[in-house]
């Protein structure tokens, strides 16, 4: 039996975020360079996006490149940027076939011009799709995002557009790059690491965290279904007591 059969279609998370980890270790286990692992990680991206869209997930955010990843060896950074361009180019068809809209969050200005161009083209070409949004976090870090929001708000106060009293959680949130999406209810990290690594810190305040032992290139549809079943078996209380939760 597949975990898919146990999924309650009426209680799906709207938004799933994934920290795709373990490409390097997967390659090392096979005596290959780290970039070999990244290349194989693309298949997991495709399978995850297809199965999430089929199930009816509305938003899928993938941590593809963190601000800290710029500090990796130059050759790996370049290979990742090339892979990103090739993948976007090749997978636009998958996005069309599955009615998926591509979006991106992060410090996109810091990406190489060719990567930015390919990304923006794919974003424009898929803008009309509405089954699911796939959001790539690129050159993203949560602390950057939060500091950036604070800077924009400070400028608006300095220009008398808003007053300090207007600043509340809603206003702050509307200045984050994730302004267009609901918060993820489920955050998955692969590779057995139990860390958040500067990803969506504000947005995961109430998310359920799921840690898969699988290395990202081994992550398949069934692993996504298993994570969703696990999520659905949890009780989300949002600070209330069990008795207060209406089932």
Instruction: Name the minimum Å distance from CB 74 to ligand FPP.
Output: 15
CA dihedral (137, 142, 148, 150) in degrees, to 10, reads: 140
CB crowding 72-105: b at 16 or more within 10 Å, else e: beeeeeebbbebbbebbeebbebbeebebbbbbb
Instruction: Name the minimum Å distance from CB 82 to ligand FPP.
Output: 10
Report how far residue 43's alpha carbon sits from residue 121's, in angstroms, rounded to the nearest whole number: 22
Select the residue whose beta carbon is closest to ligand FPP and give its number. 24
Report how far residue 188's alpha carbon sits from residue 57's, in angstroms, rounded to the nearest whole number: 14
Nearer to ligand FPP, 69 or 198 (CB): 69
Nearer to ligand FPP, 153 or 219 (CB): 219
Instruction: Name the minimum Å distance from CB 26 to ligand FPP.
Output: 7
Instruction: Name the minimum Å distance from CB 124 to ligand FPP.
Output: 17
Residues interacting with ligand FPP, by CB under 6 A?
20-25, 34, 38, 41-42, 45, 62, 64, 69, 83-84, 87, 136, 191, 216
Q: Which residues are catalytic?
A: 21, 69
Nearer to ligand FPP, 80 or 228 (CB): 80
Distant-in-sequence, close-in-space partners of 158: CB < 8 Å, separation ≥ 6 = none
Nearer to ligand FPP, 21 or 149 (CB): 21
205 CB-contact burial (10 Å; exposed 0-12 / middle 13-18 / buried 19+): exposed
């Amino acid at each position: 039996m597949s975990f898919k059969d146990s999924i309650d279609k009426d209680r799906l998370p709207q938004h799933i975020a994934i920290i795709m980890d373990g490409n390097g270790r997967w390659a090392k286990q096979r005596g290959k360079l780290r970039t070999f692992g990244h290349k194989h990680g693309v298949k997991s991206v495709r399978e995850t996006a297809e199965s999430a869209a089929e199930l009816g997930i509305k938003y899928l955010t993938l941590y593809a490149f963190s601000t800290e990843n710029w500090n990796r060896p130059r050759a790996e950074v370049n290979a990742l940027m090339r892979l990103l361009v090739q993948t976007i180019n090749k997978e636009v068809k998958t996005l069309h076939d599955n009615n998926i809209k591509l979006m991106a969050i992060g410090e996109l200005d810091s990406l190489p011009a060719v990567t930015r161009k390919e990304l923006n083209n794919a974003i424009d070409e898929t803008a009309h799709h509405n089954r699911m949004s796939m959001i790539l976090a690129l050159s993203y870090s949560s602390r950057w995002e939060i500091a950036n929001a604070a800077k924009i708000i400070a400028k608006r106060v300095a220009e008398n557009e808003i007053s300090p009293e207007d600043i509340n959680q809603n206003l702050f949130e509307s200045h984050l790059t994730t302004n267009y999406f609901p918060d993820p209810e489920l955050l998955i990290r692969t590779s057995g690491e139990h860390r958040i690594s500067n990803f969506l810190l504000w947005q995961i305040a109430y998310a359920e965290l799921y840690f898969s032992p699988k290395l990202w290139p081994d992550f398949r549809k069934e692993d996504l279904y298993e994570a969703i079943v696990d999520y659905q078996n949890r009780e989300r209380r949002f600070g209330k007591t069990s008795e207060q939760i209406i089932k």
